[in-house]
Amino acid sequence: MIRWAAAVALLAAPAAAEIVSARYAEPTARYAHLVLGRDHNFAALEVALADGTRRALRHPEMVFEDTAPRVAEVDGRPGPEVVVVESDPRRGARVAVYGLRDGALARIGATPFVGRANRWYAVADVSDLDGDGAVEVSFVDRPHLAKTLRTWRWTGGGLAEVAALPGVTNHRIGDPGIPGGRRDCGAGPEIVLADADWSGLVAVRLSGDRLTARPLGGPATAANFDNALGCNAVSP
């Protein structure tokens, strides 16, 4: 019995080369786009592994322009990956997925760049939104301009866009955080966002490669984001 319990514990333990946490490091001022306020552009991504060691990756020109890296299972292989937003000084932002390959931290998938400097993506969720077993990465494309939620799915060889929904946002210029995100109130996962003018909140669902939104009420205050994410009624 003791041997069986030990075997179960061993199977449940993370592999030595598995990513358990991640952070941005080395703040940099080389990219002047301060969409998240000051000190939110970074030159390096660092991950900690289950065996206590670390891996790091540094961009010579690009920056990580984001609130924090997201450690999540994406590609279906054992162990999680890291989802980030990185920005190029000429082409703007893109969402990228990093994983361990031959013991090193490597980019294994990415969306295209926006195509212009000082244009940004704000990640809203990384999860299996529709229950099909594949992970989706959802972000608001230019939350101050285009205000469009885009959902990309890991297809085995990388990320592929599956759906888009205009008229929503999740960030105001200069705010250090990104409000909203995933919730499941018993009827399946949804993404909580603000509508385009911040007058109210919406809950967005992915079904059949289509994003649909339903209003939750408003206004889109911090308290109401907390209410919605906690499956409580939004206060008028």
What is the C-alpha separation between 53 and 108, in angstroms, rounded?
21
Domain boundary residue among 100, 119, 138?
A: 119
Are both 105 and 210 inside the same structural domain? no
Provide the whole-model pTM.
0.92
Q: Is residue 16 located within the same domain as residue 109? A: yes
Containing structural domain, residue 77: 1-119
- Do 107 and 25 belong to one domain? yes
In total, how many domains does the chain have? Answer: 2
Q: pLDDT tens per residue, the chain (236 residues)?
A: 333 343 343 344 456 689 999 999 999 999 989 899 887 899 999 999 999 999 999 999 999 999 999 999 999 888 999 999 999 999 999 999 999 999 899 999 999 999 999 999 999 999 999 999 999 999 999 999 999 999 999 997 899 999 999 999 999 999 999 999 999 999 999 999 999 999 999 999 999 899 999 999 999 999 999 999 999 999 88
Q: Are residues 47 and 160 in the same domain?
A: no
Cβ neighbours, 10 Å, residue 94: 20
Q: How far apart are CA 41 and CA 31, in angstroms?
A: 7
